[in-house]
Chains A and B, each alone.
Chain A
Amino acid sequence: MKKKLLSVLLCVAMTATVFGCGSSGDTASSSDGAASETPEAETPDAGTEAPAESSGDALVYWSMWDAAEPQAQALSQSIEAFTQETGIAVDVQFKGRTGIREGLQPALDAGTNIDLFDEDIDRVNTTWGSYLLDLEELAKANDYESTANAGLMAACREVGGGTLKSIPYQPNVFAYFYNMDIFEKAGVSAVPTTWDEFLDTCQKIKDAGFTPITNDNAYISSLFGYHMSRLIGEPATEEVVKNGDWDNEAVLKTAQAYEELASKGYFSATIESNQWPAGQNTELAMGEAAMYLNGSWLPNEVKEIAGEDFKWGCFSYPAVEGGVDGTEASNYGAQVFAINAKSTKSEQAFQLITYLTKGDADKLLSDMSVGIPADSNNAEWPALLSNVKPVMDSLTTRYPWAAGAEANADMTPIIIENFTKLCGGSLDAQGFVDALKAAGN
């Protein structure tokens, strides 16, 4: 008897689960907000409930930030203000970098209701390019570009295949960040713009008792990429990396330049052991090392360790003799907002994007995350980044990430391993080239 009862219960439970799943899925996909199934919704005071949670009327924004990050906190505050001002409810979901990278495309393919999302300029425009709404007309109708950063808008059009499919915010730039106090103590009066000046700077810093250069495994391939790109330009560097053309003489030249830096003791003694964020936290931010090639997000990442009195300097990777590119070339970009081509609320979404990337909201984001403002009217940059502005303004050529050094995912870890050994002095220039050639076979 007991067994029978149990089996009936189990049966009911199972069918309930199966149908329960089905019906909840149905409401999620068909929730157009026109009718609500709950009787309470028909009562007049139901309107006081937060619309973002109860109906499909809210604008759905999938964000690349984690809820705990300053960027997310600034955006949340601004979105709240936006809703109060316009009455447009926004359902913001902070997915984080990996969350959006893994989940966005499957969600879009499955027809999930997402109106707008954000991520890095390159990923949004290349990886997710086919899901984006063309924003040219919306931008024109709203006169968006009158106060936008022209260079970044041009970059968005370039990666968008000639048309505007994304709106940049939180601009960033990749360059050498340095501790101005150490430069001062070492008697370095001007930032190096050529390789010889760079060597000279390193020597002075070393003589003053500091470590000239440090880095971490996460960014060290950029040293290789930037030097190669200075020598032969970024497109050629990318070709070398993608096709495994390690016999190209620029590879050996780059390796020799770094062998020289290593042999002169310009790198941190623990450079080979620096697993991110060890180098940026314990060497640069603590005032032991002077220079680190990284993005303009660095001062924000280490601000708790470096303290408020840390004076940040910035200069573009130096030009090398006989090279194709000079200090005018570097990786710069932004996070970008984009609107789902299938969104039925594209105008509201664009309204939100405009609100977040201009005026007070842009300033709030810039202040809270120590980031670069996107609105050209917000001319005042956070104090920690004041020396980054001239560098950003001087750039005319845009490199992709790591100046092409990470263009071949199958080679990236191998380049990093051997380049790290080169910087640590446990491999010489020829050994570096040989190791890459061996891995290519």
Chain B
Amino acid sequence: MKKNKTMIVVFLTPAVVMFSIIFLYPIFRTVAMSFFKIEGVTDAVSKWQFSGLANYIKLFNTELFRISMWNIFRIWLFGGILVMSLALLFAAILTSGIRFKNAFRAIIYMPNVVSAVALATMWLQYVFSPKFGLFKSIGELLHWEWLAKFQWLDPSHLFMALLIAYCFGMVGYHMLIFASGIERIGTDYYEAATLDGASRIQQFRYITLPLLKGVTKTNITMWSISSAGFFLWSQLFSMVVSNTQTITPVVYMYQNIFGAGNSMTERNAGIGAAVGVLLSVCVVLIFMVCDKVFKDDDIEF
């Protein structure tokens, strides 16, 4: 095909213009905003007051922001380990040729279909309830007093409760990605391995896992993105005012842009922008580490 420059320009221009307006402009504006004190997020540039690195310095000196970063790290690491291992386990079981595969898959994926608001209400007001909660009833049924009396929602355990509730909903999604990755692997490999006398566990360890490298990278990337933007569950687990156990950087950002709780508190969209910049840096770092650890698929199959 002959290269037609006009056609290239015609086709690229809308995309480039859109990309610049929707992606590049907000990125540059956000980075710029993080160096200013700005009361309202849509204030005219003439109202911005330059403050240099003050927003960043304030963030690092604020205990609540440090707590929120620690929370997001815990969600990413512990939640990640929990979700990825369960997702991989379920995916391996579902693709091993068990009966009622589709039914099980639908059940595990179900929480993704239900609204997060409904799920969080169920966990918070029913499952974890210290008065008539599911765990309390199970504890009483089995005469496990520690479980019946366990205070899931007090300040010492609220984070764990949040993590369990959140991960419960996320396993199905990542399981589907793993399952599709496993199904992509040809059955010949397993047949050959079986003939060579490899057990199911050995097959999983030496065939499935190495061939899932690319899919694992996808899963971790997806998980990191959803963790960095962790907001809804945090809001649902501490309605009206935020909580030290559930606050995340995005919630902190929201408070600085729109005000916190019912009180009239100081607003500074510049701090919100600085939080956004820091989060982006974190996500980029995670991507770089991921890229190093999981080098592009060097195995072809």
Chain A residues in contact with chain B, CB under 8 A?
A: 7, 11, 14-15, 18, 101-102, 105-106, 109-110, 120, 122-123, 126-127, 217-219, 221, 270, 272-278, 282, 400-402, 406-414, 416-417, 420-421, 424, 426, 439-441
CB distance from A2 to the nearest CB of B (A): 14
Q: Are A416 and B241 in contact (CB under 8 A)?
A: yes
Q: Are A282 and B131 in contact (CB under 8 A)?
A: yes
Q: Which residues of B sit under 8 angstroms from A274, Cβ to Cβ?
A: 153
CA distance A439 to B67 in the complex (A): 10
Q: Does B11 sit within 8 A of A, measured CB to CB?
A: yes
- List the 9 shortest-distance A-B pairs measured between CB atoms, nearest first: A272-B154, A218-B240, A409-B260, A406-B263, A273-B153, A409-B265, A109-B42, A106-B42, A270-B130
Within 8 A of A (CB), among B259-297: 259-267
Give per-residue flags for B14-42: 1 if the beta carbon is below 8 A from chain A beta carbons, else 0: 10000000000000000000000000111
Q: Are A7 and B11 in contact (CB under 8 A)?
A: yes
Q: Does B63 sit within 8 A of A, measured CB to CB?
A: yes
Within 8 A of A (CB), among B61-110: 62-65, 67
Q: Which residues of B sit under 8 angstroms from A420, Cβ to Cβ?
A: 154-155
Q: In which size bucket is the chain B interface?
A: 35 or more
CB distance from B72 to the nearest CB of A (A): 15
Q: Are B239 and A276 in contact (CB under 8 A)?
A: yes
Give per-residue flags for B113-139: 1 if the beta carbon is below 8 A from chain A beta carbons, else 0: 000000000001100111110000000
Q: Are A273 and B130 in contact (CB under 8 A)?
A: yes
CA distance A110 to B256 in the complex (A): 21
CB distance from B159 to the nearest CB of A (A): 11
Interface class of chain A by DSSP: helix
Q: Are B153 and A402 in contact (CB under 8 A)?
A: no
Q: Are B244 and A401 in contact (CB under 8 A)?
A: no
Q: Does B218 sit within 8 A of A, measured CB to CB?
A: no
CB closest residue in chain B, given A424: B154
CB distance from A18 to the nearest CB of B (A): 6
Q: Which residues of B sit under 8 angstroms from A406, Cβ to Cβ?
A: 241, 260-263, 265
Q: Are B151 and A270 in contact (CB under 8 A)?
A: yes
CA distance A122 to B264 in the complex (A): 7
Chain B residues in contact with chain A, CB under 8 A?
A: 10-11, 14, 40-44, 62-65, 67, 124-125, 128-132, 151-156, 158, 237-245, 247, 255-256, 258-267
Q: Which residues of B sit under 8 angstroms from A407, Cβ to Cβ?
A: 263, 265
Contact flag A127-B151 (CB < 8 Å), given A7-B11, A102-B258: no
Q: Are B241 and A413 in contact (CB under 8 A)?
A: yes
Contact flag A409-B255 (CB < 8 Å), given A109-B42, A401-B264: yes
Contact flag A417-B244 (CB < 8 Å), given A7-B11, A15-B14, A105-B41: yes
Q: Are A410 and B63 in contact (CB under 8 A)?
A: yes
CA distance A160 to B14 in the complex (A): 48
9 A-B pairs whose Cβ atoms sit less than 8 Å apart in the complex:
A14-B14, A106-B42, A109-B43, A221-B241, A272-B154, A401-B261, A402-B262, A406-B263, A416-B244
CB distance from A336 to the nearest CB of B (A): 13
B14's contact among A18, A276, A414, by CB below 8 Å, is which? A18
Contact flag A275-B42 (CB < 8 Å), given A101-B258, A270-B131, A413-B243: no
A412's contact among B44, B132, B256, B260, by CB below 8 Å, is which? B260
Q: Are A408 and B42 in contact (CB under 8 A)?
A: no
Q: Which residues of A sit under 8 angstroms from B158, Cβ to Cβ?
A: 275
Q: Are B262 and A11 in contact (CB under 8 A)?
A: no
Q: Are B64 and A413 in contact (CB under 8 A)?
A: yes
CA distance A101 to B67 in the complex (A): 25
Contact flag A412-B264 (CB < 8 Å), given A105-B40, A275-B237: no
CA distance A13 to B264 in the complex (A): 47
Q: Which residues of A sit under 8 angstroms from B129, Cβ to Cβ?
A: 278, 282
Q: Which residues of A sit under 8 angstroms from B153, Cβ to Cβ?
A: 272-275, 278
The listed residue with most A CB atoms (<10 A of its CB), out of B130, B156, B158, B245, is: B130
Q: Are A276 and B259 in contact (CB under 8 A)?
A: no
A276's contact among B62, B240, B242, by CB below 8 Å, is which? B240
B261's contact among A110, A272, A412, A421, by CB below 8 Å, is which? A412
B245's contact among A11, A106, A417, by CB below 8 Å, is which? A417
Q: Are A217 and B264 in contact (CB under 8 A)?
A: no
